[in-house]
């Protein structure tokens, strides 16, 4: 590689990295947590207020619910699992964004009990932070911005690879720990970047697609499909595979339908059944579930007619997808870690945290390359505004997001069932903590704020297992902590995170007091003393 | 050997704009020329997925061009070929 090309790509890498870095830090940190969205949902859930109807009585539950509430026939969901975050056996809602769905249960005597309750998911909130990096706004503006950020991130990846290629063999496994701290951070940045490069390429490309698919489809429709894409999409839509027919017809029992799906794919484990137009000849049921033997989009589904029992569509049934949806399912799986079970999920969690480290260390290197040094200036220095502001922003945004997510998780458990609209509280707590952290970092300076915010991060993370302890020890609080392995896993990870933050806070404090005084990470009074000498 | 020119604005715009149109064009060719043609159910998703790697590879590598002018010319030529192919598909395969 010619050295002038490498120099040029160094500039590309610097500016793409510094533009996208902090957005990506938040997206990766929240994304790592989103890999374990299900355990998080189970950790935060409060037990269902009534005993859930036994699965064996599902047919009776459906029949009786439809008898008292015919409006539910248009679309309702029957849940087949029995985890603690399940709050009702049968629910229906008006449209996708209806936050107050109805639910129905059977009393032991066989009466239908209806309830309408506000539902929200903490896991969805964290996922939302992952997808938008916390950029608020209507019309998915956050996602669109993150689509552009992801495109910039892809360029940063390729340019980073081009820079390290000439010295790859020589430098890759050299982690030069020593007096030259910048060299050590650069070595660490390079080895993490190169080792996890395939993961990053997959994430960057799929994130661009997830965030910008509307725009990409529009362009393809205009240029390639000549306006016919909508009709092709409608023809491909699995939900249209059973034609509407309003003549009444009896439905087969739940178990019979599940048997048919099992026959079609024995390794598929159903989790929920979404009925549409129940009771009519054109009724359909989407049986959603998991299959760990295949690379899946997450949940897959088969569409089955509850009247005839025929399977109408398997385009999204793992292992039965067909060429086109099968290939795309692989891309989804590579982003969502929905293959290979818990081992892959743990790997994705660690790769995600390593990715966050990559962006953080990238910003540190930017700062280190630009700060004034005593050596170059031949004496004590006052740092440039650019490095001062960038270090404050890096600390405030990155540590702010970490603190805000932990505190939102804790607050969700304490507020669950005590406030009317918990979504508002998720947002309020997250943005209050995040913005306060950023403000704090600019007011106090990066050096002091890094130590203080790391302590806050440690306390906030430790509050997660302590919340569980409280909920077990004091049942009067009404939080009823979950004792499943999944929920305990959340406590355990949070506890180890807290210990990591303590270690980081202590070494950051050491650096503030004892590190080089011409660093942006030295205590400000030391920087001033140096300069005044 | 000639020093490589930086030409930030012209190279970046060539990669972003012509790279994008090239991606749409090549993905369109894929849609036409793979079995079943344009209207095959469910194919459109993979077609859309293809645009991202083509676009971003072009954008990432376009700084290798020795000047912004060359980037525009080469990528413009590639676009002409891709869209000529697309029009040929429309004309002959419809």
Contacts of B32 in chain A (CB under 8 A): 224
Terminal CA-CA length for chain B: 49
Contacts of B89 in chain A (CB under 8 A): none
Cα–Cα distance, A346 to A489 (Å, whole number) = 12
Q: How many CB atoms lie within 10 A of CB A200?
A: 24
Q: What are the distances in angstroms from CA A286 to CA A69, A237, A267?
A: 21, 13, 17
pLDDT computed for residue A84 by the predictor = 78
CA distance A307 to chain B (A): 26
Q: Is the pLDDT of residue A149 over 80?
A: yes
Of the given ranges (A40-49, A186-195, A359-368), which has the lowest mean pLDDT? A40-49
**By C-alpha distance, which of A401, A403, A395 is closest to A463?**
A403
Contacts of A5 in chain B (CB under 8 A): 4, 63-64
pLDDT computed for residue A121 by the predictor = 81
Residue/partner pairs of A136-139 with CB below 8 Å, 24 or more apart: A136/A427, A136/A431
Please give the backbone phi and psi of residue A174, each rounded to the nearest 5 degrees, phi first: -95, 110
Contacts of A225 in chain B (CB under 8 A): 31, 38, 44
Are residues A399 and A530 located together in one domain of the fold? Answer: yes
Q: Is the pLDDT of residue B2 over 90?
A: no
pLDDT computed for residue A92 by the predictor = 94
Contacts of B64 in chain A (CB under 8 A): 5
- Among residues A123, A149, A174, the one where a domain terminates is A123
Residue A394 touches partner B, C-beta closer than 8 Å: no
Question: Looking at the domain assignment, is residue A110 inside a domain?
Answer: yes
pLDDT computed for residue A530 by the predictor = 67
Do the Cβ atoms of A252 and A309 come closer than 8 Å? yes
Q: Is the pLDDT of residue A224 over 70?
A: yes
Are residues A464 and A498 located together in one domain of the fold? Answer: yes
**By C-alpha distance, which of A126, A127, A105 is closest to A116?**
A105
Of A4, A154, A331, the CB nearest to B60: A154
pLDDT computed for residue A45 by the predictor = 83
Q: Do B46 and A228 touch (CB under 8 A)?
A: no
**By C-alpha distance, which of A489, A416, A430, A432 is closest to A121?**
A416
Higher pLDDT, A184 or B56: B56
Across the range A75-90, mean pLDDT stands at 89
Q: Is the pLDDT of residue A220 over 90?
A: yes
Residue A209 touches partner B, C-beta closer than 8 Å: yes
Do the Cβ atoms of A35 and A337 come closer than 8 Å? yes
pLDDT computed for residue A340 by the predictor = 87
Do the Cβ atoms of A303 and A241 come closer than 8 Å? yes
Across the range A85-109, mean pLDDT stands at 86
3-state SS, residue A139: coil
Are residues A47 and A12 located together in one domain of the fold? Answer: no
Range of the domain at A326: 237-336
**33-72 in chain B: CB under 8 A from chain A:** 38-49, 51-53, 55-57, 59-61, 63-64
Question: Residue B29 class from Cβ within 10 Å (0-12 exposed, 13-18 middle, 19+ buried)?
Answer: buried
pLDDT computed for residue A533 by the predictor = 62
Residue A331 touches partner B, C-beta closer than 8 Å: yes
Q: Do B24 and A331 touch (CB under 8 A)?
A: no
Q: Is the pLDDT of residue A186 over 60?
A: yes
Contacts of B43 in chain A (CB under 8 A): 324
Residue of chain A nearest B55, judged by CA positions? A151
Are residues A292 and A155 located together in one domain of the fold? Answer: no
Please give the structure tokens belonging to residue A350: 């660690």
Do the Cβ atoms of A233 and A165 come closer than 8 Å? no
Question: Looking at the domain assignment, is residue A130 inside a domain?
Answer: no
Q: What are the distances in angstroms from CA A331 to CA A217, A303, A355?
A: 17, 22, 19
Question: Looking at the domain assignment, is residue A128 inside a domain?
Answer: no
Residue A437 touches partner B, C-beta closer than 8 Å: no
CA distance A159 to chain B (A): 7
Contacts of A315 in chain B (CB under 8 A): 42
**Maximum CA extent, chain B:** 52
Which of B19, B30, B60, B93 to mutate to probe the A interface, most A CBs <10 Å?
A: B60
Which of B8, B30, B41 to mutate to probe the A interface, most A CBs <10 Å?
A: B41
Across the beta sheet with A90-92, the strand order is A112-116, A102-106, A90-92, A75-79, A269-276, A284-290, A300-304, A311-316
Of B3, B24, B31, the CB nearest to A4: B3
Contacts of B11 in chain A (CB under 8 A): none
Residue A500 touches partner B, C-beta closer than 8 Å: no
Are residues A25 and A93 located together in one domain of the fold? Answer: no
Q: Do B56 and A205 touch (CB under 8 A)?
A: yes
Residue keyed to tokens 């004091």: A474
Q: Is the pLDDT of residue A331 over 90?
A: yes
Please give the structure tokens belonging to residue B55: 């676009």
Of the given ranges (A48-57, A108-117, B55-64, B84-93), which has the lowest mean pLDDT? A48-57
Contacts of B47 in chain A (CB under 8 A): 220, 224
Contacts of B82 in chain A (CB under 8 A): none
Are residues A26 and A163 located together in one domain of the fold? Answer: yes
Of A8, A213, A224, the CB nearest to B6: A8
Across the range A42-47, mean pLDDT stands at 82
Q: Is the pLDDT of residue A107 over 80?
A: yes
pLDDT computed for residue A48 by the predictor = 64
pLDDT computed for residue A1 by the predictor = 67
Q: Where do the H-state alpha helices sit in A276-340? A: 323-336
Instruction: Provide the mean pLDDT of chain A.
Output: 91
Are residues A183 and A286 located together in one domain of the fold? Answer: no
Q: Is the pLDDT of residue B1 over 60?
A: no
Across the range A224-237, mean pLDDT stands at 94
Cα–Cα distance, A149 to A16 (Å, whole number) = 9
Do the Cβ atoms of A339 and A297 come closer than 8 Å? no
Of B6, B40, B52, the CB nearest to A205: B52
Quote ipTM for the complex: 0.96
Across the range A188-198, mean pLDDT stands at 93
Cα–Cα distance, A521 to A388 (Å, whole number) = 9
| CATH number of the domain that residue A267 is part of | 3.10.450
**By C-alpha distance, which of A33, A128, A122, A134 is closest to A410?**
A122
Are residues A379 and A505 located together in one domain of the fold? Answer: yes
Q: Do A232 and B63 touch (CB under 8 A)?
A: no
Element housing A233 (H / E): helix A229-236
Q: Do B47 and A213 touch (CB under 8 A)?
A: no
Are residues A78 and A146 located together in one domain of the fold? Answer: no
Q: CB within 8 A of A445, min separation 6: which ones?
A: A388, A392, A524
DSSP A279: T
Question: Looking at the domain assignment, is residue A129 inside a domain?
Answer: no
Across the range A283-291, mean pLDDT stands at 95
**Maximum CA extent, chain A:** 92
pLDDT computed for residue A474 by the predictor = 86
Is this structure's pTM higher than 0.95?
no
Across the range B16-39, mean pLDDT stands at 96
Q: Do A8 and B4 touch (CB under 8 A)?
A: yes
Higher pLDDT, A129 or A529: A129
Residue of chain A nearest B52, judged by CA positions? A205
pLDDT computed for residue A371 by the predictor = 83
Are residues A227 and A354 located together in one domain of the fold? Answer: yes
Across the range A147-161, mean pLDDT stands at 97
Q: Do A5 and B64 touch (CB under 8 A)?
A: yes
Are residues A524 and A426 located together in one domain of the fold? Answer: yes
Are residues A317 and A353 located together in one domain of the fold? Answer: no
Which of A165, A224, A334 to mutate to probe the B interface, most B CBs <10 Å?
A: A224
Q: Give the number of A-B residue pairs with CB atoms closer than 8 Å.
A: 100
Q: What are the distances in angstroms from CA A65 to CA A71, A105, A106, A212?
A: 10, 8, 9, 41
| Domain count within chain A | 4
Residue of chain A nearest B31, judged by CA positions? A224
Which of A214, A324, A325, A332 to mutate to probe the B interface, most B CBs <10 Å?
A: A324
DSSP string over A473-484: H-GGGS-----S
Across the range A73-94, mean pLDDT stands at 89
Q: Is the pLDDT of residue A172 over 80?
A: no
Which of B10, B56, B89 to mutate to probe the A interface, most A CBs <10 Å?
A: B56
Of B24, B39, B52, the CB nearest to A232: B39
pLDDT computed for residue A404 by the predictor = 98
pLDDT computed for residue A83 by the predictor = 81
């Amino acid at each position: 590689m010619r050295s002038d090309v490498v120099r040029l790509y160094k500039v590309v890498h610097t500016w793409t990295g510094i533009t996208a870095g902090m957005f990506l830090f938040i997206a990766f940190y929240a994304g790592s947590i989103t890999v374990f969205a299900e355990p998080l949902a189970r950790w935060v859930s409060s037990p269902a207020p009534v005993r859930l109807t036994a699965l064996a009585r599902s047919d009776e539950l459906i029949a009786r619910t439809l008898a008292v509430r015919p409006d539910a026939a248009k679309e309702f969901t029957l849940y087949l699992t029995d985890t603690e975050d399940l709050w009702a056996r049968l629910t229906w809602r008006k449209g996708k964004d209806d936050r107050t769905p109805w639910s129905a249960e059977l009393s032991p005597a066989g009466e239908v009990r209806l309830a309408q309750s506000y539902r929200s998911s903490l896991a969805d909130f964290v996922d939302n932070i992952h997808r938008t990096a916390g950029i608020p706004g209507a019309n998915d503006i956050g996602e669109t911005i993150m689509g552009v950020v992801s495109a910039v991130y892809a360029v940063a990846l390729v340019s980073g690879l081009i820079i390290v290629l000439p010295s790859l063999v020589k430098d890759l496994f050299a982690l030069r720990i020593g007096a030259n701290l910048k060299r050590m951070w650069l070595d660490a940045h390079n080895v993490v970047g190169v080792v996890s490069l395939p993961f990053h390429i997959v994430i960057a490309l799929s994130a661009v697609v997830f965030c910008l698919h509307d725009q990409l489809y529009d362009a393809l429709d205009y240029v390639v499909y000549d306006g016919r894409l909508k009709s092709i999409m409608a023809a491909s839509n699995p939900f249209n595979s059973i034609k509407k027919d309003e003549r009444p017809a009896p439905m087969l029992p739940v178990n019979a339908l599940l048997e048919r799906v099992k026959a079609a794919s024995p390794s598929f484990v159903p989790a929920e059944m979404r009925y549409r137009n129940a009771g009519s000849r054109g009724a359909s049921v989407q049986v959603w579930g998991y299959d760990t033997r295949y690379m899946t989009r997450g949940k897959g589904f088969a569409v089955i007619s509850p009247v005839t029992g025929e399977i109408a569509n398997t385009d999204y049934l793992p292992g039965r997808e067909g060429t086109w949806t099968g290939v795309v399912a692989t891309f989804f799986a590579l982003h969502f870690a929905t293959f290979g079970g818990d081992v892959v999920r743990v790997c994705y969690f660690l790769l995600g945290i390593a990715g966050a480290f990559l962006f953080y260390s990238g910003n540190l290197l930017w700062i280190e390359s630009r700060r004034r040094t005593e050596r170059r200036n031949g004496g004590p220095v006052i740092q440039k505004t650019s490095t001062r502001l960038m270090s404050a922003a890096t600390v405030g945004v990155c540590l702010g997001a970490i603190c805000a997510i932990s505190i939102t998780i804790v607050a969700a458990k304490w507020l669950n069932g005590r406030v009317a609209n918990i979504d508002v509280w998720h947002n309020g707590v997250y943005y209050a903590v995040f913005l306060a952290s950023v403000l704090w970092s600019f007011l106090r300076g990066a050096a002091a704020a890094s130590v203080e915010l790391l302590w806050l991060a440690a306390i906030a993370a430790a509050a997660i297992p302590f919340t569980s302890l409280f909920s077990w020890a004091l049942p009067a609080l009404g939080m009823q902590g979950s004792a499943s392995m999944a929920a305990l896993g959340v406590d355990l990870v949070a506890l180890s995170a807290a210990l990591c933050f303590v270690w980081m806070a202590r070494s950051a404090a050491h650096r503030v007091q004892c590190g080089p005084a011409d660093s942006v990470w030295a205590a400000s009074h030391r920087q001033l003393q140096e300069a005044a000498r | 050997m000639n020093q490589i020119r930086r030409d930030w604005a012209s190279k970046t715009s060539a990669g972003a704009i012509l790279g994008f149109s090239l991606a749409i064009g090549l993905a369109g060719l894929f849609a036409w020329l793979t079995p079943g043609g344009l209207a095959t159910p469910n194919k459109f998703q993979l077609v859309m997925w293809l645009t991202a790697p083509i676009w971003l590879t072009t954008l990432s590598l376009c700084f290798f061009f020795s000047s912004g002018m060359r980037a525009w010319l080469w990528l413009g030529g590639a676009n002409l070929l891709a869209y000529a192919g697309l029009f040929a598909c429309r004309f002959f395969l419809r």
